[in-house]
Structure 1
Amino acid sequence: MMPAEMLCVAAGGALGALCRHGVSLWCADRFGKAFPCGTLLVNVSGSLLMGLLAGCWQRWGTSSVFALFAGAGFLGALTTFSTFSMDTLAAFHAGHPAKAVLNIGLNTALCLTATAAAYFLIVP
């Protein structure tokens, strides 16, 4: 990877991480910490955006610089499988298996649905 490409990924990643942190703080203040709403929101919105971008790239193409910035960088840092996994494990460990299963179900179903719906809005 060339230095310019690394810079695109790093810049997108920095913005994505800042957005994720801001959304997580906002959700915790607004809805409390009983359920990881912030993680769910960034994962679903990031999946929706990735579906839109993938559809656009499939239909019209894209520059590799934008793909690195938006896809690998921004959306890679915005969405978070590791935090989703830790939130789920923490719920199981705290004796809340129903919350853990709900978290797994919502993240999986909503993220896949958001990605597919957005993609197929662009690619018939």
Structure 2
Amino acid sequence: MIPTPRRAARPYTRTAVLAGRYGLVHLAGELDLETVPAVRDAVRRCLDNRPARLRIDISGVSFCDCSGLGALLWAKAEAARAGTGFHLSGPPQPTVARVLDATGAAAHLGLAPQPAEGKRR
């Protein structure tokens, strides 16, 4: 039997703007080439409300490839262009933390370094 190719499901996204001041985009699922358009759409919808600060919660993201990483960097740049503060929050799942730490994107996006698996601080 030949396995069928895995199709990435659209990520679960939830956006909210609270009191016109704070925007939240909560992501869950896989962040990859097929799901990036939904993420970008969620960020645009949130920024359309002109929040003072945009927070993207990636604690529910189980996988992130280079296109997903690009979407997070794009979101920070879009927030800056809109005059909106940006905050990436987690904690990220271990596979996502490795991508962010290995590329240096964690520091660039303002995410605190995550302890390596199996090690305590």
Q: TM-score, normalised to structure 2's length? A: 0.38
Structure number with the bigger relative contact order (C-alpha 8 A, sep ≥ 6) is 1
Q: Larger % of strand: which? A: 2
Q: TM-score, normalised to structure 1's length? A: 0.37
Give 1 or 2 for the bigger CA radius of gyration: 1
